[in-house]
Structure 1
Amino acid sequence: MSKHPLMGSERAPFDGAQSVGKADPAERLEVTVLVRRGSSDALRTRVSKLVAGNASDGHIQREDFAQQFGAAPNDMSAVRNFASQHGLSVVEEHAARRTVILSGTVAQFNDAFDVDLQQFEHAGGSYRGRTGPVHLPDELSGVVDAVLGLDNRPQARPHFRSRPPQGNVHWQSSRTGTTSSTPLQLASLYDFPAGTGQGQCIAIIELGGGYRPADLKAYFSKLGIASPKVTTVSVDHGKNHPTGDANGPDGEVMLDIEIAGAIAPGAHIAVYFAPNTDAGFLDAVTTAIHDTIRKPSVISISWGGPESAWTEQAMTAFDQAFQAAAALGITVCVASGDNGSGDGVNDGADHVDFPASSPYALACGGTSVQAGKGAIAKETVWNDGANGGASGGGVSSFFALPAWQEGLQAARAKGGTGALQMRGVPDVAGNADPATGYDVRVDGSDMVIGGTSAVAPLWAGLVARINAGKNSPAGYLNPKLYKTAAGLTDITQGNNGDFVASAGWDACTGLGRPDGNKLAGTFG
């Protein structure tokens, strides 16, 4: 039986990682196989109408999506037959998500996909991985778009920053006089429309950590608002698992829930927990998008990593999932990263964070807000330097220039501008500076947290309020935001490293931060 490399599936070891031997052949694992869409052209046509602003037939319903745009039954059957031939079990399949999850041993998957799974060690730990591409037999060539989960390296990182203690030298020298805000205070500064997001569902994607209901109850009680309904959804065996480390993933989980929940306490907050792998991350996203029980109208994602750390098959799979979200009327808000124009890659080049760089995501960058007497006195790009963090932004090396960004320029800190040739990041922004950050409660302690992780749930809560106010989903915001820029306040001071804020769109804060009531009018 001949096998062929799956395009875009090539993997290389982590920088500095070394193989210490073959993976245990008896180790059991689960792998996500993504099947091609049955009608990709039809979905692209439908989404292109949304981009053009003339989608007269509106958003499709989840219940109809699988039939119109899901995987074809014959393709799903082909994967099942392949699994049976190699002794693999089908543990889950979902036509709308185009997903078949297979279970088996390392030895079985090595044989099925012609890979050689190894155990790798690096400075940050160890993982099971592979080098080179996945291989598919003739009968699956063109049928399967991606095979994820053979490699279980940590795929993404949370984008939050805790505020240093007040005795910190950096704090004393450059942050004197700054203060934090509750999410409600910031919503007031940004003139968010009234409302609670009643009747909406906000999906939050988490790849580790957890929350304690007692902390949430105490936090919302202190704010003087009703606690939102919070539901845990397990994906690929992911669990709500608080670690007790406020500076670990618990900080991310609590920040996301508390900001989104404070802005939209009438909304149902559904937290999708999954393993921090490419398969787990994608499965959490597609589970939320196609959840016919909770039906989220907005998704908040505060995890990501530089595009260079992803396989092409994974980035394409996420992008296709976000296209589906657009067709369903779901807004996907994604943090743009906390490491400025380099995105934490130490090669001297510019990098953008994914999945924020998908054109179908609303990429959320960061600002620093100085306020007094209930009003904003000054707002600039968040940039605390290489170690303190800065708004992620730049130009994608993978995604083509979307129609709604044509003609835009990226201004550089060293002078000069260049016309965008590829997707520019971010789209919008909001307060992210830990020094002017958000009052939150994590693992029993009150603390202040910033980072672009805070901006994604902030925008998600705003969208939930807007959706509730007009009783219909705003959906895919990007095309309309770029067409009018109404409801956004431009940020024109500061830089994130290699890029500088400028009039209009820039690669630090996008089109600017929200002016909530005006934005609600735009989508009313």
Structure 2
Amino acid sequence: MKLTRRASVALLVAAPMVLGAGTGFAASAQADPHTTQLANSAAPGLEFATRTGSVDADQQMKVAVSLNYRDAAGLDAFLARVNNPSSAEYHHYLTSEQFVARFAPTQAQVDQVRAYLQGKGLTVTDVASNRMLIDASGPVKTVQSAFATSESRYHDNKTNKDFTANDTAPSVDSSVAGLIGGVTGLNNHYQMHSYTQAPKAGAPKVGSGPGGGYTAQELRSAYGVNSLVSGGTDGSGQSIAMLEFSHFTQSNISTYDQQYATGSPTPTVVKVDGGDDDTAGDGVTEVELDIEVAHAIAPKANVAVYEAPNSDQGEIDMWNKFVTDKVSVVSSSWGSCELDDTASTETAVDNVAKQGAAQGQTFLSAAGDSGAYDCYRHSGTQSPNANNLAVDFPGSDPYVTSVGGTSLSEGSGGSYAGETVWNEGSTKWAGGGGVSSKFARPSWQTGPGVSTSSLRQVPDVSANAQNYSIYTVGQWTYVGGTSAATPFWASVLTLANQQAVAAGHAKVGQVNSTLYQLGSSSSYGTLFHDITSGDNLHYSAAANFDEASGWGSPKADALVPNLSGGGTTQPGAPAVTNPGNQTNLVGDSVSITAKATGGTTPYTWSATGLPTGLSIASGTGVISGKTTTAGNYNVTVTATDAAGKAGSASFTWAVSTSGGSCSGQQLGNPGFETGSASPWSASSGVVSNASAGEAAHSGSYLAWLDGYGSTHTDTVSQSVTIPAGCHATLSFWLHIDTAETTTSTAYDKLTVKAGSTTLATYSNLNANSGYVQKTFDVSSLAGQTVTISFTGAEDSGLQTSFVIDDTAVTLS
């Protein structure tokens, strides 16, 4: 009987000696652990390979075990707010310590996985300081046993390459499966490759560089960087990190710096997992190109070259190092075709990129050099996916800015004469771009030219991918590739960071949402070169955004001040402060004052796209009136100064007809004090009086799920409407008590969901002596009617009670 079992809970708490009698029962419940297969850690491409034998059982292996976020839904909601100009948290980034405390796995969870790996015979070699990654090693036979798989030697029949891989996806015990995001290092089928077009010594001379190619000054001149550098915006006090899987020679960098009088600091080297083990240095031109482009565009910035082995583990460990080192801007000229990559590697990198976005870091990655067919290789044997439309990872990740390629033409004195999409025809050298097969289109990816596909589109921006004059491997030459365009853009954003810091503003951080907002504004043409000709072997350039060139290349003298301050400006014009996206109901009275700085006062104000019923006062910038017509409006506010120069800011304005104002609490019977469930739907006996054996948080009633000590499931749920445009928070008070006190296994679980989104899962491991308030941002569900549900599932062993009280869905 339910009350009898719950009464025994009080006995167990009051008389600890009784727990000794339960220890044997708890142990027996764990004697038959179940395993869970980690499907995303299966080796890719085995269907194109032939197994040739087993791997030496005593050979040493290294693996990286990535962990899941403690509150993934909460992190996604925070990232949406920190990148939303209308949010109070806009650009209020977290420190790494705050991030770990708020979203990373708990130390207890990390210790649980560490102990699990050690219990399987593996040696834990490192635990990342952000608690998101555990490195381990051991003989092949131990790794096979630990993850219930086998390692074999294979021959790829398509690429004619030998490799090793796990025959099946690894499995782990169910006690830790919910904590582990994936296991990498089990296969070396595909490696990351760089996106540098080979040196062109002896090719026709383009630009005035020795050996051919555009000089540092010519690149700066064409894209409007010269005026910034000469004015002191030269990268001073800022840093750029380069993701590399090869070495460089400092004497080559010094020769470049002397030729172009960059005066750049000597790059530093950060070795990850012992650094690059490629003694042949096949990627040396890539690394030296990256450094020299940064020295050309942001000459006084500090460049840190991160080197790691070219393996899944090396890749993940390097990304993790970026966020723990809190590097401001990271440029990656290496990538993998999405279709060839290991899914667990992509998941682990995505997790790290999210932490970087929360901390205000900027990640950029080359879009690839094979046009819309990213799996195509210009040397060596072909991938089986070579003829399939595909995009490059990590550029396809929504928290990474993907950089495509163009062909730049210059006029006299290095002036800008035009650009087309980079495409060298039958050679299949072309700027990457297309539609991801792995990542959903993020909410910020909107604007003219962006397709309605539900998937992420790349590139986001582009720049010249040909004819960079560099000094590498002891000679002057010129090279190209999107791996030249990527450090170029990374350097431009570094200049924006310098201006932002000087003005007391936040750094640009995860810049994608800002780029799309600016691309959609009426001042787009003053900030970007819109690439409208050419194609990348499949997608054609067009006005505004396209999958061949993104939003185009930068007009840096206008774009950098905008990125650092938040308004769209012409050089020397007023900078309009973006008021953020607005929401109202039909009939609301509005009074908002637009503001600007700089230029020559007084300003004359104008606006386009205002909601029906509103107008702007030309002399004061006050937007006022009463909204009369529902709809979604794209508004641009412009300040024209006394010298005739104009600056503007663009934002959205949503006017709704229903849903009430954005205030108040939306749940019915939130504290269950009516004594019945309605309007909640609940299992029998869930809504209880406190006298039944559990104390209420307040009042006399509560929702009591489980506590039987036998296999049982209880639910309580209620539908609620969250009006469009409102910020909404779900909160409740939770008390968990349990007799499962001698285990590290989550036997009994409570799942909290809003619609189909799982907000959190709690278990007997989260037992506490009193109530704890839990709070979740559910603003992403605005405009919907969703069901808030609590589901408690108890196994056949000792009891766990999940007690909920004082719920609320609060609008603001």
Same structural fold, with TM-score higher than 0.5 when normalized by the shorter chain:
yes
Within the alignment, does 1:77 sit opposite 2:111 as a pair?
A: yes
Alignment of 1:42-61 (within 5 A): 42-57=74-89, 58-61=92-95
CA contact (8 A) 2:530 2:552 kept: yes
CA distance in 1, matches of 2:279, 2:411: 36
Q: Deviations over 1:125-168 (max 9, x none)?
A: 4322123311111111111001111113342110110254546x
Which of 63, 66, 89 is 1:31 aligned to? 63
CA distance in 1, matches of 2:427, 2:394: 23
CA distance in 2, matches of 1:349, 1:69: 37
Q: Which residue of 1 aligns with 2:500?
A: 470
Q: Which residue of 2 aligns with 1:19?
A: 51
Q: Which residue of 2 aligns with 1:415?
A: none
CA distance in 1, matches of 2:369, 2:217: 23
Within the alignment, does 1:461 sit opposite 2:497 as a pair?
A: no
Within the alignment, does 1:185 sit opposite 2:218 as a pair?
A: yes
CA distance in 1, matches of 2:309, 2:491: 25
CA contact (8 A) 1:47 1:327 kept: yes
Cα deviation for residue 313 of structure 1 reads: 2.2
CA distance in 1, matches of 2:278, 2:118: 34
Alignment of 1:176-325 (within 5 A): 180-192=213-225, 193-194=228-229, 195-207=233-245, 209-239=246-276, 243=280, 248-291=282-325, 295-325=326-356
Q: Which residue of 1 aligns with 2:123?
A: 89
Q: Which residue of 1 aligns with 2:420?
A: 380
CA distance in 2, matches of 1:268, 1:164: 28
Within the alignment, does 1:449 sit opposite 2:482 as a pair?
A: no
Q: 1:353 to 1:386 in 2, by over 3 A?
A: farther
Within the alignment, does 1:335 sit opposite 2:374 as a pair?
A: no
Cα deviation for residue 409 of structure 1 reads: 4.3
Gaps of 5+ in 1: 411-417
- Write 1 or 2 for the structure with the bigger share of strand: 2
Q: 1:124 to 1:473 in 2, by over 3 A?
A: farther
Q: Deviations over 1:277-304 (max 9, x none)?
A: 222112111101221xxx3110001111
The one-letter code of the counterpart of 1:473 is K
CA distance in 2, matches of 1:441, 1:332: 26
Alignment of 1:479-518 (within 5 A): 479-485=513-519, 486=524, 487-518=527-558
Q: Which residue of 2 aligns with 1:140?
A: 176
Q: Which residue of 2 aligns with 1:160?
A: 196
CA contact (8 A) 2:374 2:386 kept: no
CA contact (8 A) 2:459 2:548 kept: yes
Cα deviation for residue 242 of structure 1 reads: 6.3
Within the alignment, does 1:10 sit opposite 2:45 as a pair?
A: no
Cα deviation for residue 38 of structure 1 reads: 2.1
CA contact (8 A) 1:300 1:332 kept: yes
More moved, 84-93 vs 260-269: 260-269
CA distance in 2, matches of 1:103, 1:80: 12
Question: What SS does structure 2 have at the residue aligned with 1:180?
Answer: coil
Q: Which residue of 1 aligns with 2:461?
A: 428
Cα deviation for residue 77 of structure 1 reads: 1.0
CA distance in 1, matches of 2:428, 2:237: 38
Which of 100, 107, 115 is 2:149 aligned to? 115
Instruction: Report the identity percentage.
Output: 32
Question: What SS does structure 2 have at the residue aligned with 1:90?
Answer: strand
Question: What SS does structure 2 have at the residue aligned with 1:465?
Answer: helix
Cα deviation for residue 180 of structure 1 reads: 1.8
Q: Which residue of 1 aligns with 2:137?
A: 103
CA contact (8 A) 1:90 1:101 kept: yes
CA distance in 2, matches of 1:133, 1:121: 19
CA distance in 1, matches of 2:431, 2:165: 31
CA contact (8 A) 1:210 1:250 kept: yes
CA distance in 2, matches of 1:363, 1:204: 15
The one-letter code of the counterpart of 1:196 is D
CA distance in 2, matches of 1:27, 1:101: 17
Q: Number of residues paired by the alignment?
A: 502
TM-score between the two structures when normalised by the length of structure 2: 0.59
More moved, 11-20 vs 305-314: 11-20
Q: Deviations over 1:46-94 (max 9, x none)?
A: 1101332245341112233222222211221111111221111111002
Q: Which residue of 1 aligns with 2:587?
A: none
Q: 1:388 to 1:350 in 2, by over 3 A?
A: closer
CA distance in 1, matches of 2:386, 2:448: 26
Q: Which residue of 1 aligns with 2:452?
A: 419
Q: Deviations over 1:83-134 (max 9, x none)?
A: 2211111110024150110111111000000111112234564322123311
Cα deviation for residue 7 of structure 1 reads: 3.4
CA contact (8 A) 2:337 2:390 kept: yes
Which of 422, 438, 446 is 2:468 aligned to? 438
The one-letter code of the counterpart of 1:128 is T
Superposed CA RMSD in Å reads 2.3
Within the alignment, does 1:355 sit opposite 2:386 as a pair?
A: no
CA distance in 1, matches of 2:98, 2:268: 25
CA distance in 2, matches of 1:425, 1:476: 16
Question: What SS does structure 1 have at the residue aligned with 2:235?
Answer: coil
Cα deviation for residue 31 of structure 1 reads: 0.7
The one-letter code of the counterpart of 2:272 is V
CA contact (8 A) 2:532 2:543 kept: yes
Which structure has more relative contact order (CA 8 Å, sep 6+)? It is: 1
Q: Deviations over 1:417-464 (max 9, x none)?
A: x6333111100000002xxx2111112121211000011111111111
Q: 1:177 to 1:330 in 2, by over 3 A?
A: closer
More moved, 491-500 vs 153-162: 153-162
CA distance in 1, matches of 2:294, 2:459: 20
CA contact (8 A) 1:114 1:135 kept: yes
Cα deviation for residue 367 of structure 1 reads: 0.2
CA contact (8 A) 1:407 1:419 kept: no
Question: What SS does structure 2 have at the residue aligned with 1:316?
Answer: helix
Cα deviation for residue 521 of structure 1 reads: 2.1
Q: Deviations over 1:465-520 (max 9, x none)?
A: 11112214111111111112242221000000110000010001100101102111
Question: What SS does structure 1 have at the residue aligned with 2:331?
Answer: strand
CA distance in 1, matches of 2:539, 2:217: 31
Question: What SS does structure 2 have at the residue aligned with 1:218?
Answer: helix
TM-score between the two structures when normalised by the length of structure 1: 0.91
The one-letter code of the counterpart of 1:144 is I
CA contact (8 A) 1:212 1:242 kept: no
Cα deviation for residue 3 of structure 1 reads: 1.7
CA distance in 1, matches of 2:348, 2:528: 30
Q: 1:469 to 1:496 in 2, by over 3 A?
A: same
CA distance in 2, matches of 1:5, 1:25: 22
Q: Which residue of 1 aligns with 2:444?
A: 404
Q: Which residue of 2 aligns with 1:414?
A: none
Q: Which residue of 2 aligns with 1:522?
A: 562
Q: 1:99 to 1:219 in 2, by over 3 A?
A: same
Q: 1:258 to 1:240 in 2, by over 3 A?
A: farther
Q: Deviations over 1:348-378 (max 9, x none)?
A: 4311111110111110000001112121212
Q: Which residue of 2 aligns with 1:413?
A: none
Q: Deviations over 1:4-38 (max 9, x none)?
A: 21132222346754322111111112111111112
CA contact (8 A) 2:447 2:545 kept: no
